[in-house]
Amino acid sequence: MQINTSRQFFNHSLSPYLNFTRKEWAELRANVPMTVDETDLHQLQGINDKLSLEEVAEVYLPLARLLNLYISSNIRRQTVINEFTGKKTAKIPYIIGIAGSVAVGKSTTARLLQTLLRAWPEHRQVELLTTDGFLHPNATLNSKNIMHKKGFPESYDMKSLVQFVSDIKSGKELVKAPLYSHLIYDIVPNQYKTIESPDILIIEGLNVLQSGMDYPHELHRVFVSDFVDFSIYVDAEASNLKNWYIDRFLKFRKGAFSDPNSYFHSYAKLPEDEAISIASAVWDSVNAINLNQNILPTRERASLILKKGANHLIEEIKLRK
Ligand SMILES: Nc1ncnc2c1ncn2[C@@H]1O[C@H](COP(=O)(O)OP(=O)(O)O)[C@@H](O)[C@H]1O
Ligand SMILES: CC(C)(COP(=O)(O)O)[C@@H](O)C(=O)NCCC(=O)O
């Protein structure tokens, strides 16, 4: 296999990233066998995605290969610490962070990577966490008059999220996280996700790369990104993001027709063009502003940037040197 990286080094000598076209990246799969079949893929398709086996083979398998190399090296590092101290330390999970805009496909990417990493010959235990569980409940957002800022830094209980990640990284065996439901558009009361000492934890959320300057209202100065071993920013043009957001809104709305508990139930009776106008207005007045103010500025903190084109196909990959 011959990969021509000279052009990239020459053109981007001042960039902290190595740049790959999709074709160059696909070659880095290095004959890793296809570890998911059509049945697995079906489970990964989330709400409406048209994720193809070709996309998995060309983009996500090379990525899983890279992550496995990093994880193996991290395990060797832990062995060195054990050898040096003469004591066996607790298992410390390797944390992969996935950041990016609302509706860019973070949770789909996270679920896909979970399946691929589990299927690797080492059969590592891989858990998922989504940071929306640490949003303040709607009642709190309403009382603070920031319901229109859901997803903005001030809408999260960042202290609890950081404590959660810190506990995981300290080797605590059982850690509980609150749950958010897109269906009820709120935190689910008295329900938790339990994480029990996995080998790998994938944390997905628009805030995983945010740090001190994004939280001037907070007193503490430790952030999720301090505990993340490898971070991925999923990137796309704003026009695509808006379309994907509206598509997802319409899918939620369809699913909500029969479910009176759904937040989207009230939109179910509206004609489709009115529902589209509402989704479009929410995008413009909340998510687009959050993207520009608080999410996009974190992109260059990522270890890897996956740039999507239309139809969610990855077109370009940047890997931190
Ligand atoms: N790789 C993909 N291929 C096709 N559709 C996708 C892909 N990733 C996400 N989607 C679709 O885009 C929308 C947003 O994806 P989601 O994973 O919910 O985003 P996020 O977690 O970033 O908000 C969903 O409708 C999902 O089905
Ligand atoms: C709960 C969220 C902040 C989480 O983002 P996501 O999981 O979609 O990336 C977002 O879906 C959201 O509800 N934003 C507020 C405006 C809205 O879309 O209703």
Q: Tell whether the torsion through CA atoms of 209, 181, 106 and 102 is positive or negative.
A: negative
- Nearest residue (CA) to ligand 1, atom 25: 248
Q: How high is the pLDDT of residue 163?
A: 94
Q: Among the listed ranges 27-36, 49-58, 64-73, 234-243, which one has the minimum average pLDDT value?
A: 27-36
Q: How high is the pLDDT of residue 120?
A: 80
For range 64-90, the mean pLDDT: 90
CB of 312 within 6 A of ligand 1: the answer is yes
- Please report where in the chains the tokens 């971070």 appear, as a residue: 231
Distance of CA 156 to the CA centre of its chain: 16
* CA–CA–CA angle 26, 28, 32 (5° rounding): 95
Would you call 267 helix, strand, or coil by DSSP? Answer: helix
* Dihedral angle computed from the Cα positions of residues 251, 257, 261 and 267, in that order, rounded to the nearest 10 degrees: 70
Give, for 65, the enclosing helix (H) or strand (E). Answer: helix 61-85
Give the closest residue to 245 by CA, choosing from 191, 201, 218, 281.
Answer: 281
For range 203-224, the mean pLDDT: 82
At 114-153, the pLDDT tens digits run 988 988 877 789 999 999 999 999 999 999 999 999 999 9
**Cα–Cα dist 195/137, whole Å:** 21
User: Does 105 appear as a known binding residue?
Assistant: yes
Give the Cβ contact number of residue 285 at 10 Å: 10
Tokens of 51: 């994720």
264 and 253 Cβ atoms separated by less than 8 Å: yes
CB of 106 within 6 A of ligand 1: the answer is yes
pLDDT at 7 over 50: no
CB of 248 within 6 A of ligand 1: the answer is yes
pLDDT band at 91; cut points 50, 70, 90? confident
CB of 278 within 6 A of ligand 2: the answer is no
**Cα–Cα dist 52/57, whole Å:** 9
Q: Pick the more confident residue, 142 or 35.
A: 142
Ligand closest to the CA atom of residue 49:
1
Pocket test for ligand 1, best of 106, 208, 233, 244 (most atoms within 8 A of CB): 244
User: Does 171 appear as a known binding residue?
Assistant: no
256 and 265 Cβ atoms separated by less than 8 Å: yes
At 37-53, the pLDDT tens digits run 666 666 666 534 578 87
CB of 287 within 6 A of ligand 2: the answer is yes
Give the Cβ contact number of residue 64 at 10 Å: 23
Average pLDDT, the chain: 88
What number is the ipTM of this complex?
Answer: 0.98
pLDDT at 229 over 90: yes
CB of 106 within 6 A of ligand 2: the answer is yes
Give, for 189, the enclosing helix (H) or strand (E). Answer: strand 186-196
Position 254, amino acid: K
pLDDT at 3 over 60: no
Closest atom of ligand 1 to 50 CA is: 4
Label residue 76 exposed, middle or buried (CB < 10 Å: 0-12, 13-18, 19+): exposed
Strand partners, 128: 202
- Nearest residue (CA) to ligand 2, atom 3: 151
Q: Pick the more confident residue, 265 or 232.
A: 232
Tokens of 181: 């439901």
CB of 255 within 6 A of ligand 1: the answer is no
Tokens of 41: 């893929």
- Nearest residue (CA) to ligand 2, atom 11: 102
**Cα–Cα dist 233/231, whole Å:** 7
